[in-house]
């Protein structure tokens, strides 16, 4: 497994584990601490996140496939995601929660498209299934444990403390992504077999100043 895969993998462990802390408590948090909060409001909040993410992810993935700024969009989307715990912490009414879910959906839509593109292009040949399995198993295990811990923290310490830990873990995940170098955008191009007639064109492409 190469460096880029390790960074993407460890980042997701922290971010998804962090957000996994809120999985068992989100509906209760909204109902008991937010003005106007109900179980229905919690369902609407979840629907907002999933809908916004889907609406962003599908068209944005088309953009990602034809552009070289995947790392920058990964950073941008993840940064939006890590602001969500802060928004939860200071939310006083249902509208604030809905806005947080919109931000979360936009961030997840941008980040997931870029993340999947980078992960797919950096998989080691003949080890694709194993590397996907390692990722899926460890992230799934971490998220499952986080759900248990989140329930315990909320029960014995409170919602605020749980959300603070959620934010702390997600920030660590974001910092890990900062070590994904810009050159990761182009590693797959460098590894391709280049037609001699196209060499100078591709060489110029890889050395132009970085831009959107």
Q: Which two tokens stand for residue 14?
A: 């922290």
Domains, in order of start, for the chain? 3-182 (1.20.1250.20)
- Whether the per-residue pLDDT at 17 is higher than 70: the answer is yes
- Whether the per-residue pLDDT at 104 is higher than 80: the answer is yes
- What is the predicted pLDDT for the residue at 81? 97
Could you tell me what percent of the chain has a pLDDT over 70? 85
Q: Which two tokens stand for residue 88?
A: 């939860």
Which band of pLDDT confidence, cut at 50, 70 and 90, is reported for residue 184?
A: low
Q: Which two tokens stand for residue 180?
A: 């994904």
Which band of pLDDT confidence, cut at 50, 70 and 90, is reported for residue 34?
A: very high
Please state the pTM of the whole predicted model. 0.82
Query: What average pLDDT is seen over the chain?
Result: 85
Mean pLDDT of 41-66: 92
**pLDDT tens digit sequence for 158-182:** 999 999 999 999 999 999 999 987 5
- Could you give the angle at the alpha carbon of 64 between the alpha carbons of 110 and 8, nearest 5°? 60
Q: Are 50 and 103 in contact (CB under 8 A)?
A: no
- Whether the per-residue pLDDT at 211 is higher than 60: the answer is no
DSSP 182: G
Q: What are phi and psi of 179, to 5 degrees?
A: -90, -5
Of 7-21, 26-40, 120-134, 141-155, least confident by mean pLDDT is: 120-134
Q: What are phi and psi of 38, to 5 degrees?
A: -140, 170
Which band of pLDDT confidence, cut at 50, 70 and 90, is reported for residue 185?
A: low
Return the closest-CA partner of residue 79 out of 146, 173, 3, 180.
173
């Amino acid at each position: 497994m190469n460096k880029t895969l390790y960074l993407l993998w460890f980042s997701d462990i922290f971010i998804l584990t962090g957000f996994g802390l809120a999985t068992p408590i989100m509906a209760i948090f909204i109902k008991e601490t937010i003005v106007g909060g109900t179980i229905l409001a919690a369902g609407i909040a979840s629907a907002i996140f999933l809908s916004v993410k889907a609406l962003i992810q599908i068209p944005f993935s088309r953009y990602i496939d034809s552009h070289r700024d995947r790392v920058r969009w990964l950073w941008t989307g993840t940064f939006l995601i890590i602001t969500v715990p802060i928004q939860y912490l200071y939310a006083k009414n249902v509208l604030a929660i809905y806005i947080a879910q919109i931000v979360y959906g936009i961030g997840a839509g941008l980040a997931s498209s870029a993340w999947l593109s980078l992960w797919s292009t950096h998989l080691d040949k003949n080890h694709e299934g194993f590397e996907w399995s390692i990722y899926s198993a460890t992230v799934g295990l971490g998220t499952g444990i986080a759900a248990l811990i989140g329930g315990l923290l909320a029960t014995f310490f409170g919602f605020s403390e749980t959300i603070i830990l959620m934010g702390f873990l997600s920030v660590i995940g974001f910092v890990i992504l900062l070590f994904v170098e810009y050159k990761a955008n182009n590693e797959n191009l460098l590894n391709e077999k280049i037609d001699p007639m196209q060499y100078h064109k591709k060489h110029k492409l890889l050395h132009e100043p970085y831009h959107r």
